[in-house]
């Protein structure tokens, strides 16, 4: 039997992207917030819970994320979960689970422009990325 490790997120960046150079190339990390809302009948009020996701974006796609997105920008992220471990300065084993992005689509941000400056030109196309682009009809909500 095979298994599936697939994550799909639509949310807003909680901070500006962080771009670094490594031996393996460029890597960009973003903190993406997704929020669930529901109505609690017991308290007769609307409730909300925000989940934060650490997303890692490699190579040219990561460079574009760092160039075009900013805190508050909306993004669609498709990828897989990966857990890694390391030892902290006290010798304790630590773990973190991250989303390794395979596709990032820039959506209209809170400022309506996905965090881009108007003179930056059009956003890049990710037609050659795994999965290609998607239409509004393919979003399940």
pLDDT of residue 110: 53
Interval 88-133: pLDDT, tens: 999 999 999 999 999 999 997 455 444 444 344 444 444 434 444 4
Interval 55-91: pLDDT, tens: 999 999 999 999 999 999 999 999 999 999 999 999 9
Neighbours of 133 (CB within 10 A): 12
Where along the chain do its domains lie?
9-110
Structure tokens at 61: 């796609």
At the fourth CATH level, the homologous superfamily of domain 9-110 is: Nucleic acid-binding proteins (2.40.50.140)
Residue 23 dihedral angles phi and psi, to the nearest 5°: -60, -30
**Model pTM above 0.75:** no
- Which of 66, 70, 68, 36 lies closest to 52, judged by CA? 36
């Amino acid at each position: 039997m095979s298994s599936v490790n697939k994550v799909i997120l639509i949310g807003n960046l909680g901070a500006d992207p962080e771009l670094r150079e490594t031996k393996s190339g460029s890597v960009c990390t973003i903190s993406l917030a997704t929020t669930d809302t529901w109505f609690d009948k017991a308290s007769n009020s609307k409730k909300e819970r925000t989940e934060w996701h650490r997303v890692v974006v490699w190579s040219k796609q990561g460079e574009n994320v760092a160039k075009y997105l900013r805190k508050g920008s909306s993004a669609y992220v498709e990828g897989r979960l990966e857990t890694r471990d390391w030892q902290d300065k006290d010798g304790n084993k630590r773990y973190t689970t991250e989303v390794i992005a395979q596709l990032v689509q820039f959506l209209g941000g809170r400022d309506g422009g996905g965090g881009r400056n108007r003179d930056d030109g059009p956003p890049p196309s990710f037609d050659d990325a795994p999965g290609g682009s998607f239409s509004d009809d393919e979003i399940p909500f």
